[in-house]
Amino acid sequence: MVLNVFRKTEADVSDEAKAFINSLPSTFMNLFRKKRNLIPVWSSSKYCVMIKATFLVYYRASKEPHQPATSTNGQASDDRHYKFINLRHCHIKIVDDDNLGNVFVITPEQGRGSVTFAADSEKDRAKFITHANNVQRDVPRPTDFQTLKLIGKGHYGRVILAKDNHSQLFAIKEMKAGQVKHKVIHTERMVMEWVGDHPFVLGLDYAFSSGRSLYLISKFMPGGDLFLHMQNHGGSFPEAVVKFYASEIVVALAHLHTMHILHRDIKPENVLLDVDGHVKLADMGLSKRLESKHSRTKTMCGTDAYLPPEMVSRTLQGHGLQVDMWQL
């Protein structure tokens, strides 16, 4: 069963889904005062408020306000009691009161369980409202896309070319539970969220679930992949072309490795080209986020023709970020 992290209320979000949401990067983070639920007074401690994907995630902050909420691998690093609210199904109201400060109230659509926060400044409140509005405005529905044709199919599912209401082209990767392991589905989405808007890495524009399927939506890359271009050039490229593509792939890998993300499936089929012929490194399903740049892992995965020696020999030390460079 696909984790449904798009439900309306916190009660509908499973512990497994909460752990997945916590693994995602924050697009917003700040400390706010919070009004208590049962009595009309403000909490003595501030709360760390984050936006992750479409969710508001918050918890009571520690005495050290700059202490990180997550460990280096993106998972919760302690026993804080995290609360989750899906911003897609909420109304946000600004309350202007000189006595209370810069207050805003988040109310779920069903009208129960409102949460009231207060920012230290109008600027901080406005920044939160802007981020929340972007979440509520930008998340599409399946009906917002018109299917054009099937452009790819494999063990992971299929890739569909579609266009939105503004005629912009997107590649929709559909993965079905049962055909693809949950870990692969969630890893790909998590890594695509982490890499952000990088010029040489394929980013994630939208993600949503429907039934037993999860859809990852990215801008369509009309240049195809390097494997296709290699075939059209007799199986190889001139040295100058190799240098051009390799330099952009190295920059893409440097970006991933800065965040301790190991790709593990570098091959021509996973290198797409945009409309200007620049590289977009894709297919993050076998990726893994390590604890540090020196960490190692022992899972054998990838494509046989590109397996590095550390994987083939099953060394006790495992493998680290270096295997991506070997595959390149």
Q: Which residues define the annotated binding site?
A: 173
| Amino acid at residue number 226 | L
Count other Cβ atoms within 10 Å, centred on residue 322.
13
Residue 253 three-state SS: helix
Nearest of 183, 164, 162 to residue 173 by alpha carbon: 162
- DSSP-derived pairing of the beta strands 271-273 and 279-281: antiparallel
Q: Are 191 and 73 in contact (CB under 8 A)?
A: no
**Cα–Cα–Cα angle for 111, 2, 17, nearest 5°?**
55
Phi first, then psi: give them for residue 207, nearest 5 degrees. Answer: -150, 135
> Residue 243 is encoded by which pair of tokens?
């240098």
- Catalytically annotated residues: 265
Determine which helix (DSSP H) or strand (DSSP E) holds 280, and give its type and residue range.
strand 279-281
Angle, helices 182-195 vs 15-23, to 10°: value is 30
Binding region for ATP: 173
Largest CA distance in the chain: 74
Q: Which residue has the tokens 């952000």?
A: 196
